[in-house]
Amino acid sequence: MPEERDINVNLRTNLIEINPDKQEATFQNLDKPEEKTVTEFSMLHVTPPMATPETLSKNKDITNETGFVNVKRDTLQHVRYPNIFAIGDCSSSPNSKTAAAAAAQSEIIYENMRSVMQGKPLTYAYDGYASCPLVTGYDKCILAEFDYDLNPLETFPFSQDREMYSMYFLKKNVMPPIYWHLMMNGYWNGPATFRKVMHFEFNDKKQKIHT
């Protein structure tokens, strides 16, 4: 698809200079820092380097070597401190960092924190659910939903692996109220319940703990 739209994707590179007059961007190859490439652009979309807040990353006792709060990938409980859990982008759990992932994690953490406070074993496990609504045009979107192993975890009972207007409608009109009114007020744990109903799945996958 990038080729179809004349999009040049630069991976493993660092943007080091922009010349707006000539519309040129200079990238440094992360694997061979001495190698620099100058690319012409009509529109430039840059992903900045990402890291956890300094408050966390400088606290080596609770974070891993890359600055993320060091938790077990299933229970989201800290590897050493049972009274610490991490949710969202700061967590070391190897899922794609999305708000959708944080929503799905919230129920797991809520239930597991309750178990810790009641002195019971943890029973809820996060499967790595993440969701990326990829808007590919003015009226189309691919709703990618997947787990830790990048297996599809699609909410709807049909294949979501293509551009669809329905997904665009969902992204534009349904997700914002879900985010602002439900998730921000603690009423949205992701679409797992809808997925199970629509796929006639009634086993509770959250019960499997591997770590």
Binding site for ligand FAD (CB under 6 A): 53, 55, 88-90, 97-100, 102, 131, 133
Least distance in angstroms from the C-beta of 150 to ligand FAD = 16
Residue nearest to ligand FAD (CB): 88
Residues 160, 107: contact at Cβ < 8 Å?
no
What gap in Å lies between CA 129 and CA 141, rounded to an integer? Answer: 19
- What are the tokens at 9? 């994707």
Least distance in angstroms from the C-beta of 175 to ligand FAD = 8
Least distance in angstroms from the C-beta of 101 to ligand FAD = 7
Residues 161, 145: contact at Cβ < 8 Å?
no
Least distance in angstroms from the C-beta of 56 to ligand FAD = 8
| Comparison of 97 and 195: residue with beta carbon closer to ligand FAD | 97
Exposure string over 163-174, b if 16+ CB within 10 A, otherwise e: bbeebbebbeee
What gap in Å lies between CA 144 and CA 87, rounded to an integer? Answer: 21
Least distance in angstroms from the C-beta of 90 to ligand FAD = 6
| Comparison of 33 and 176: residue with beta carbon closer to ligand FAD | 176
| Comparison of 102 and 125: residue with beta carbon closer to ligand FAD | 102
Nearest to residue 165, comparing CAs of 143, 132, 190, 194?
143
| Comparison of 18 and 132: residue with beta carbon closer to ligand FAD | 132
| Comparison of 29 and 132: residue with beta carbon closer to ligand FAD | 132
| Comparison of 100 and 164: residue with beta carbon closer to ligand FAD | 100
- What are the tokens at 179? 């985010």
Q: Where are the beta strands (DSSP E) in 10-113?
A: 13-19, 24-29, 36-40
Residue 188: count other Cβ atoms within 10 Å of its Cβ.
18
The dihedral of CA 139, 46, 38, 22: what is its sign? positive
Least distance in angstroms from the C-beta of 82 to ligand FAD = 21
